[in-house]
Each structure stands twice: as C-alpha cells, then as structure tokens.
Amino acid sequence: MVPGSLVVGAFLEIAEGMGFLGSEVAVENFRFREFVVPGLYDYRVEARGDTLRCFLSSGDKKLVTGSLKR
C-alpha cells in the first residue's frame, strides 16, 4: 500500500509545477476512501482561487480527495 504522505507529496509536486506553492501551503481535508496500492491512477487538480482541489481515482471510483490552500 502507498502511504498517504506519498499521495499528498505527489499532489504538492503537481502544485509546484503549476506555480501554486508559495511560502506556506496548508494541506486540508484529505480523505482516503480506500487503500491505494502501487499502480497507475487518474488524478485531477482544480484551481479555485487560493485553493487547489485534488482528486485521485480509479475509473469512476474516487479514492482520495483533498485540498491545498495558500
């Protein structure tokens, strides 16, 4: 199983690539609905003002949701 810290870290790397990271970023409301095992997954990141909404899914099933806020 993939530790949750690695999943959140991957979303932080995506946020950095988007130029979103500043001096401080809050990791908020990450929910792990199922265990994530190593493999390929779909992800989506939606920018909404000072917040990035993060989603990790397998097909139609959401596995992880959460927000990064500056």
What's the chain look like in SS3? CCCHHHHHHHHHHHHHHCCCCCCCCEEEEEEECCCCCCCCCEEEEEEECCEEEEEEEECCEEEEEEEEEC
Give me 33's structure tokens.
């609905």
Checking if the pLDDT of 5 tops 90, the result is: yes
Task: Give the model's confidence band at 42: pLDDT under 50 very low, under 70 low, under 90 confident, else very high.
Answer: very high
What does R_g of the chain's alpha carbons equal in angstroms? 12
Number of domains the chain contains = 1
pTM, two decimals, is: 0.92
Residue 63, pLDDT score: 97
Domain extent, residue 46, equals 4-69
Residue with the two structure tokens 């409301």 = 29
Residue 51, pLDDT score: 96
